[in-house]
């Protein structure tokens, strides 16, 4: 698919009516209907058990990494 064709399709692909949306803090208000359909579909397809474990790789860490190569020119 060419870039121009993709841009034409993306320009006219709308998921929500702008006239009906309210002034809210919802940053995903334009794609909220799509998110709701996906949540319903995923909820029907997958049931979690009573015990859930999280690996340390799933938890975000906020570390600051200093790269000395960026400071030297």
- Residue 65 in any domain: the answer is no
Q: Hunting for tokens 């399709």 — which residue is that?
A: 9
- Residue 30 in any domain: the answer is yes
- pLDDT exceeds cutoff 70 at 14: yes
How far is it, in rounded angstroms, from Cα 46 to Cα 55? Answer: 20
Cβ distance 32 to 16 under 8 Å? yes
- Residue 37 in any domain: the answer is yes
- Residue 73 in any domain: the answer is no
- Residue 11 in any domain: the answer is yes
pTM of this structure: 0.47
User: Residue 25 is part of which domain span?
Assistant: 1-48
Taking only the tens place, the pLDDT of each residue in 19-60 is: 776 666 778 888 888 899 999 998 888 887 888 877 776 666
- Residue 24 in any domain: the answer is yes
Count of domains for the chain: 1
Rounded to 10 degrees, what is the CA torsion of 50, 56, 59, 63?
170
Full DSSP string of 46-70: ----S-----GGGS--------HHH
């Amino acid at each position: 698919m060419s870039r121009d064709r993709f841009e034409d399709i993306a320009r006219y692909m709308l998921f929500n009516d702008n006239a009906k949306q309210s002034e809210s803090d919802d940053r995903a208000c334009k794609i909220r209907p799509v998110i709701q359909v996906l949540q319903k579909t995923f909820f029907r397809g997958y049931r979690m058990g009573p015990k859930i474990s999280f690996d340390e790789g799933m938890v975000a860490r906020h570390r600051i990494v200093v790269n000395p190569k960026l400071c030297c020119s």
